[in-house]
Structure 1
Amino acid sequence: MNIKSLSWIACFYFLTLSFTTAQERPNIILIFADDLAYGDLGVYGATGWTTPHLDQLAADGAKFDQFYVPHAVCSASRAALLTGSYANRIGIHGALDHTATHGLNPKETTIAEMLQGNGYATGMVGKWHLGHLEEFLPTKQGFDRFYGLPYSNDMWPNHPESKNYYPPLPLIEGEKTLAYLEDQSELTTWYAQKSLEFIEQNKDRPFFLYLAHSMPHVPLFVSDKFRGKSEQGLYGDVMMEIDWSVGQIRKKLNDLGLSENTLIIFTSDNGPWLSYGGHSGLQGGLREGKGTSWDGGIRVPAIFTWPGKIPSGVIPNQPAMTIDILPTLAEITSSPLPELPIDGRSIWPLIQGKAIPEYPYYAYYNQNELQAVIYGKWKLVFPHVYRTIPAGSELRNDGLPVKYSYIRMEKEMLFDLSTDPGESKDILSEFPDVVNQLREFAEQAREDMGDHLTQRIGAGTREPGKRKP
């Protein structure tokens, strides 16, 4: 089966399973945390802090145990989420900073543009990170409103490893800078308030809210109402405040009578930034963290809740990825898919507890390196260089990182993630047919999107947006 036939299957599901009429369009709230790890929620095994609102959200709907981002780094992960495409397909790599002269191409269709064209009010609150120049801001990419930061909250003069490299951190509303932040203690609270305002103002029409928290990415900040509340320390306090914000949103929906017609999705952009020690999250038994294609870097919590449409307590037994969110939302809102090819497929049946055909997913890092392919329970990892915390390192709890070391992986490895989620036992020699199938998928991806590890140039890539002359 090739990539084109897989894309056809995705479109087939969209055409045959679409059911929503214009009068039934649900409100959609997509909450995207930053560096929140697989084990950071109580329902995923967190200790040292509590997340009762997120745990209840999971109990009320579907909780994925094997949900992925395709890129374990900020900008690339966000590009994939909002476009349904691998970020290397659309020319976004790494984490864009204040020097970037490119961003998400306006020719790409975001979730916001797709829903805006279907009569939705669209609002974004939080971290954008897909181009800080005016022509790339959220208001140019389908959002009616924007309040938040143009990039990561550590891209400011107080960065512990790059003092005074970054300019003052702008807080933006629409396309105008409101202030330059010197303290971020109220940031999560401000995001919650702006989210509640958006919901209130659009309660009488379908709306899409994209809440992209800046936390728990370092530097960690928390308001007085949660400072010192967890057993773990500052990271735990931050997690409890994020959880509180989810509770505030659900309360607002209940108060307005909107809960039954609102889909809430909660997930994260990648795994924990392990070099920050006590200021990073919990791997939950997975290998490595942010900045790697091991599961600790790319497997994240994922919760989908929609009362009456998603049964409570669903735990899908197949993998899915953030690129699937756009086509899934297209299906449930009867919105046309983007004109340009995308990579995700609708997983609506899977969210409801049904099986769907298996589908290969790819993990990329650096400048378009295809580092792994995932297919059902199988994961084939290709030779590459990855970062790790050196053995014997004394991790800190003061917001300062330790240095990574780098390991060159010399040969392919195969893992059965159903029995070995920590990727500790290479079983490549035991399953030659599986290996060959995953290699075939990888070759199709290389032909389509390229691969710097094998010096391949793909035929299906597109350019990012370029700065206006």
Structure 2
Amino acid sequence: MNPFLKITTVVFIIVPLFTYAQKNKEKIPKPNIVLVFADDLGWTDISTGNTNKNNGSKIYKTPVIDKLASQGMSFTNAYANQNCAPSRAALISGQYATGIENQVYNVGSLKRQDKRTKGFPNVLIEPFKQKKVIAEDGINIFDVLKTKGYRTALVGKSHGTPHPLKGDFGIDLPADIHHIIAAPINGKRTKSFYLALNSDKKGWTFNSEFVDKYANPYDEEYINTILKPYKSQGNLTLLKGTPKHLTDAIGDFSVDYIKKNANAENPFFLYVPFHAVHSDVTGRKDLTQKYLKRGLKPRIAEYASMIELLDQNVGKINNALKDPNGDGKDDDDITNNTIFIFYSDNGGLFNNSPLKGKKGNLTEGGLRVPLIFRYPNVIPENTVTNQAVHCIDFLPTLAALTDVDVTSLKKKDGSKPKYDGASFAKILTGKEKRISRENLFWHLPGYMDERFSPSTLMQKRIENEYYKLFYFYETDEFEMYNITKDISEKRNILENPTSIEIEIALQMNADMLAWLKTNKAPTGTWLKNGEKVPYPKLNGVEKYK
């Protein structure tokens, strides 16, 4: 054959193959994403040991979540913020509270009164006046995914964004529900935290135009078809005719959303911030009775009931992915093309042992939470990592998993958005053991009743160990802990530090100061003279030598 003809033949073969590969790459479907965000579920509140270094609960039963952990990757060092709104704001914005589009440091305000004294006594600092919701003009996690054609939905708690959820937040279906359900009944305003109310005008309601269709009381059909398969050993007959639980309604909405969108051309992002297991705990009657019969105190029985109810609704959502059309066959299963995430917004309400503290604290019991990622054939099954991750990391991670170049995004004014998080996508896929970031930060320029006062916290990874350095503005004091060796934060290293520990503390002190200055973090003002509260001194830990 003529050499020229050989070359020509090869070129004609290669070009179509290259074009075919490019077209096929474009046709590879983006994964659907389901993000279940529990409320106040602690690190030790689920029964799997994967997420909590074998400290799974012996009281609360979460078989669905346990199985999810065995099918994906669990994080033992997953963190959130100390309570609801700042965690949601950070997750959605991809920014610390110091970020320009965030500014949500606490629920309500940074001047939360002390419950112990029914007032606000002896405070030294006038707190920073925070924002209650993130700004509309940022490019948030919903906006990022919409650049790849995602349809977006939120069903549940909208803390960190306005309620009712209106405006340009990138959410196609904002089925947000306030935690306190209110309705006029017989002319009187009645409140409920978890059970539907029978309103004079609306009938059974959760005060949500999208979710009210799921508010009717439990009937035999629902009990037999939806609840019976879970074999929870509770007496389901107790439910007949009783008000629907909000957790079941959110689960039902999620199931129907998946059914409607499973076979659509574009993928979906379903964000499900449950209200369970938040305070004013009200379990489902059958499950509460089951735990009461086991001898638990009423408050703990209600909490156990809520956790199992949450688990059942994670199961509902998971089953909808397996069989979207509900015909009992798996030929329409979309599990393999769905990223399923289970996460919590802050530490638990009750006992988080061996962790110190609870919701509202900056100790591990207030910040460390369960986290599971499942993405079949992409994320290895039954794997565990101790890489520290945070709310702010979800936006860049999901962007990486869906092939969004966040550096190319621009806001309406033409400026580029700034994100504080780091992608841990390569941790999930097993390509890396660590992300390059070593430091995480929490900054609180105010008060939350008795649970925190003006303070900054940073965590640093040094080789395979994690350290925490606290700074308290009122007293100009530091505390330091090695949470890898001392998970319960019992030994304040600075009370008797070694020379190496002082060197680590000095470096952390410098990193903390640099971060505060770079982010122009607010600190409030001294009440005694109105002057700005200063940042920690550089090398302020030298006095502990």
Task: Give yes or no for TM over 0.5.
Answer: yes
User: Matched residues in 2 for 1:346 and 1:51: separation?
Assistant: 29
* 2:253 equivalent in structure 1: 194
By how many angstroms is 1:288 displaced?
A: 0.7
Which amino acid in 1 is paired with 2:273?
A
User: Matched residues in 2 for 1:316 and 1:302: separation?
Assistant: 10
* 1:213 equivalent in structure 2: 274
Pairs within 5 Å for 1:180-329: 186-204=245-263, 205-230=266-291, 231=294, 232=296, 233-255=301-323, 256-273=332-349, 280=350, 282-329=351-398
* 2:116 equivalent in structure 1: none
Say whether residues 1:415 and 2:481 are aligned partners: yes
Assess, with a 3 A threshold, how the Cα gap between structure 1 residues 22 and 427 changes in structure 2: closer, same or farther.
Answer: farther
- Does the aligned pair in 2 maintain the 1:378–1:414 contact within 8 Å? no
Task: Give the 3-state SS of the residue equivalent to 1:439 in structure 2.
Answer: helix
* 1:146 equivalent in structure 2: 174
- Does the aligned pair in 1 maintain the 2:469–2:508 contact within 8 Å? no
**Cα RMSD after superposing both structures:** 3.3
Which amino acid in 1 is paired with 2:169?
Q
Task: Give the 3-state SS of the residue equivalent to 1:412 in structure 2.
Answer: strand
Instruction: Report % sequence identity.
Output: 26
* 2:502 equivalent in structure 1: 432
By how many angstroms is 1:244 displaced?
A: 0.5
User: What's the CA shift string for 1:197-238, capped at 9, x where partnerless?
Assistant: 111111123110000010110111233443323344110011
User: What's the CA shift string for 1:248-304, capped at 9, x where partnerless?
Assistant: 11111111410001111111111123xxxxxx4x41411111111111111111111
* 1:123 equivalent in structure 2: 153
Deviating more after overlay: 169-178 vs 203-212: 169-178
User: Matched residues in 1 for 2:69 and 2:475: separation?
Assistant: 37
Deviating more after overlay: 367-376 vs 21-30: 367-376
Assess, with a 3 A threshold, how the Cα gap between structure 1 residues 21 and 265 changes in structure 2: closer, same or farther.
Answer: farther
Which amino acid in 1 is paired with 2:380?
P
* 2:459 equivalent in structure 1: 374
- Does the aligned pair in 1 maintain the 2:45–2:348 contact within 8 Å? no
Structure 1: where are the runs of 5+ without partners?
1-19, 161-168, 274-279, 386-407, 458-469
Assess, with a 3 A threshold, how the Cα gap between structure 1 residues 102 and 225 changes in structure 2: closer, same or farther.
Answer: same
User: Matched residues in 2 for 1:121 and 1:26: separation?
Assistant: 12
User: Matched residues in 1 for 2:420 and 2:63: separation?
Assistant: 34
Q: How many matched pairs?
A: 396
User: Matched residues in 1 for 2:389 and 2:515: separation?
Assistant: 17
Task: Give the 3-state SS of the residue equivalent to 1:208 in structure 2.
Answer: strand
Assess, with a 3 A threshold, how the Cα gap between structure 1 residues 196 and 315 changes in structure 2: closer, same or farther.
Answer: same
Say whether residues 1:76 and 2:86 are aligned partners: yes
Say whether residues 1:173 and 2:204 are aligned partners: no
Task: Give the 3-state SS of the residue equivalent to 2:28 in structure 1.
Answer: helix
Which amino acid in 2 is paired with 1:329?
L
By how many angstroms is 1:75 displaced?
A: 1.1
Say whether residues 1:91 and 2:167 are aligned partners: no
- Does the aligned pair in 2 maintain the 1:78–1:129 contact within 8 Å? yes
Structure 2: where are the runs of 5+ without partners?
1-24, 110-129, 183-188, 194-204, 216-241, 324-331, 410-415, 448-453, 525-531, 536-545
Q: 1:450 aligns with which of 501, 509, 521?
A: 521
Assess, with a 3 A threshold, how the Cα gap between structure 1 residues 218 and 456 changes in structure 2: closer, same or farther.
Answer: same
By how many angstroms is 1:103 displaced?
A: 2.5
- Does the aligned pair in 1 maintain the 2:181–2:191 contact within 8 Å? no
* 1:347 equivalent in structure 2: 424
Assess, with a 3 A threshold, how the Cα gap between structure 1 residues 326 and 22 changes in structure 2: closer, same or farther.
Answer: farther
Say whether residues 1:359 and 2:425 are aligned partners: no
RCO greater where, 1 or 2, for CA within 8 Å and sep 6 or more?
A: 1
Task: Give the 3-state SS of the residue equivalent to 2:322 in structure 1.
Answer: helix
- Does the aligned pair in 2 maintain the 1:79–1:130 contact within 8 Å? yes
* 1:466 equivalent in structure 2: none
- Does the aligned pair in 1 maintain the 2:467–2:484 contact within 8 Å? no
- Does the aligned pair in 1 maintain the 2:288–2:304 contact within 8 Å? no
Assess, with a 3 A threshold, how the Cα gap between structure 1 residues 132 and 374 changes in structure 2: closer, same or farther.
Answer: same
Instruction: Name the larger-Rg structure.
Output: 2
User: Matched residues in 1 for 2:27 and 2:422: separation?
Assistant: 22
Task: Give the 3-state SS of the residue equivalent to 2:369 in structure 1.
Answer: coil
Say whether residues 1:105 and 2:135 are aligned partners: yes
User: Matched residues in 1 for 2:210 and 2:148: separation?
Assistant: 22
* 2:37 equivalent in structure 1: 32
By how many angstroms is 1:324 displaced?
A: 0.6
- Does the aligned pair in 1 maintain the 2:181–2:207 contact within 8 Å? no
- Does the aligned pair in 2 maintain the 1:139–1:145 contact within 8 Å? no
- Does the aligned pair in 2 maintain the 1:114–1:336 contact within 8 Å? no
- Does the aligned pair in 1 maintain the 2:344–2:371 contact within 8 Å? yes
User: Matched residues in 1 for 2:138 and 2:482: separation?
Assistant: 35
- Does the aligned pair in 1 maintain the 2:211–2:250 contact within 8 Å? no
User: Matched residues in 2 for 1:449 and 1:152: separation?
Assistant: 36
Q: TM-score, normalised by structure 2?
A: 0.66
Which amino acid in 2 is paired with 1:94?
N
